[in-house]
Structure 1
Amino acid sequence: MIRDNPVSSIKKPPSARRTSKWLTRIKQNALLREVKGQNKKRDYATMMLMLRAGLRVHELCELLKPNITMSARVGSVYIRGKGDKDRVVPLNSEVRSALQSYFEEREDESPYIFVSQRSKKLSVRGVQHLVENYRNRTRIEHLTCHTLRHTFGHDLISAGNDLQQVAMLMGHYKEDGTPNIQKTMIYTTPGIEDLTMAVESISWT
C-alpha cells in the first residue's frame, strides 16, 4: 500500500568476505587414512596429485606417462593448464611414493597415467565420483576436487612461501605470462583454524 520504502536509505551491513574452502590438517589426515584403508593405490595417487601438487581435474585426466619424471630423490609433473599455459610442478616424496606404488601394479598399455576398469583414460566425471565417494565415507561435507586444489594453495601460503612461487605452482598467469599474484591472494584468506592459531599464539599459558 505504501508507494515508497521508508527504510530504503538504510544501508545494509557489509557481508563477510567469501573465504576459500580448504581442508584442515585434521581433515586431510582423516581423508588420507580412509583412502589408504581402502588399499586402492590409484585412488591414493589421484588424491595426492590434487592435494600435494594442485592439479585441476581435467589436468589430472589428461596426464600422459611422459608428463611425469621421477627418480629416487626428485620428481616433477608437466601440465598443460588453462589457456594452454604450461607449468612444471615438483613432486614431493609423498606424491612420488604414491605414484610409484600405483605404477608398480599397473599392467595395461594405456599411455595415460590414470585409467579406469572400462577405459584407458579416467574421465573427469570418474574423478569427481571418486572424490564424492570419499566425501560420503569421511563425512567431510565440503570435500570436492576443487577443495583439494585449494588446500594445496592454502598450505603453500601457510608454510610461508612467496606469492609468486605459489602463483606459478597453481598455474595462475596473466596474459603476458607473468604470475597473477592477485588471483593467488584468495589463498591468503584465513580460515577458522588459522584464526584460532593466531589467537593461541599470544596466549601466556
Structure 2
Amino acid sequence: MTDKYQADPIIDAFLDDLWSTKGLSDNTLASYRTDLRHFERFVLTKKRQLINVDQLLIRDYLAFRVEQNFAKSSTARLLSSLRRLYGYLLVNEHIAVDPTALVESPQLVRQLPDALSEAQINSLLDEPNVDDPLECRDKAMLELLYATGLRVTELVSLTLEQISLRQGLVRIVGKGGKERLVPLGELAVTEVEQYLVAARAELLGNKQSDVLFPSKRGQMMTRQTFWHRIKLYALRAGIHCHLSPHTLRHAFATHLLNHGADLRVVQLLLGHSDLSTTQIYTHVAKARLQQLHSEHHPRG
C-alpha cells in the first residue's frame, strides 16, 4: 500500500477549493495535505475510502495517534483538517452525514509564548555589524520585525512596493488574504533606509528583484534561513533561552501590552482575526496591571 499509494483526487479538489475561497498560505495547505494523506493511508488499511468514513473510524484513528504518542496539538490540527474536508464534502453533496460532527477535539494546554526581555531585545538588535552588507540587511530585518510584529513569512516575502518609508508604514497581506497597515517606527525606518542605501544593491549584484530583503544569491530568503540568522545573533549576544521563529513577534506583542497598549490594537497589528488568539499575550502584562491598579485605584 505504501509504495503504490495514490491520494484520492478528493483531497486535491478540496485543497484547490480552500486556496480559491479562503486564500490560505502554501504552508497551511501543505500541512492539510500531509494530515489528510496520513489519515487516508489509515483508512485504506481498514478497506475503506475517504468518502465512506464514519465517526467510529475517525475515533479509531485518533486512538491510534494516542498509541503512537503524537502530540495533542498535532492531533487537534489533524482533526481540524478533517472537519474542513468533510464539511466541504457535505456542502458539495458527496456525503449525507458529517462523520466529524460529534468527535471531540483533544483538550490542549494553551502554551504561553516565550518572550525576551526588553534588555535582551536591545542586545539582539545591537549585535549585527552594519558595515557588513549581509548583517546590515539582518539589522534592518530585525528592527522591522520587532517594530511591526510581522510573521517571519510576511517579513521575508516583503516587496519594495509594500513599504513606505515616507509614511512609515508597511502594507501586509496576511493569512486568508487579509490586508493590514502597520506602522514602522523611527528606528526601523532609519535602519531600512540605511540598508537600502548601503547594502541592498551589493547583495543583488547585477540581479533585479522587487524583494525588499533578498538573500546573498539575490533571491527571496526562506523563513528557515532567517531563523538561523536570528539564532546566530542570539548566540553572539549571549541569549541562551528558548527561541522560536516568532520570538520577535511575541516580544512585540508583550512589550506593547507591558507599556499599556490596548489589546484590540495589538490584535489589529498582529493580524489576528479572533481576539482570543491575542489574549494569550496578556499574561505578561499581569504584573504591570497589578501595579497600575495599586497606584491608581482608590482602594488599591
Q: TM-score, normalised by structure 2?
A: 0.54
1:118-163: CA deviations, max 9, x gaps? 2321121211111121122223222333111011111111121211
Aligned residue number for residue 63 of structure 1: 158
In structure 1, distance between residues paired with 2:244 and 2:267: 21
Task: Check the 8 A contact 2:258/2:288 in 1, yes or no.
Answer: no
In structure 2, distance between residues paired with 1:65 and 1:135: 28
Task: Check the 8 A contact 1:50/1:145 in 2, yes or no.
Answer: no
Aligned residue number for residue 5 of structure 1: none
Compare CA radii of gyration and give the structure with the larger one: 2
Aligned residue number for residue 218 of structure 2: 119
Identity %: 34
Offset at residue 17 of structure 1 (A): 7.0
Aligned residue number for residue 131 of structure 1: 230
Offset at residue 36 of structure 1 (A): 4.7
Q: 2:270 aligns with which of 170, 174, 185?
A: 170
Q: 2:139 aligns with which of 39, 44, 49?
A: 44
Offset at residue 38 of structure 1 (A): 7.2
In structure 1, distance between residues paired with 2:175 and 2:124: 28
Aligned residue number for residue 85 of structure 1: 178
Aligned residue number for residue 83 of structure 2: none
In structure 2, distance between residues paired with 1:50 and 1:36: 17
Q: 1:30 aligns with which of 113, 120, 123?
A: 123
What SS is found at the alignment partner of 1:51?
A: helix
Higher relative contact order (CA 8 A, sep 6+): 1
What SS is found at the alignment partner of 1:87?
A: strand
Q: Which moved more, 1:129-138 or 1:56-65?
A: 129-138
In structure 2, distance between residues paired with 1:197 and 1:87: 28
Is 1:154 the counterpart of 2:254 in the alignment?
A: yes
Aligned residue number for residue 281 of structure 2: 187
What SS is found at the alignment partner of 2:127?
A: helix
In structure 2, distance between residues paired with 1:92 and 1:115: 22
In structure 1, distance between residues paired with 2:176 and 2:145: 19
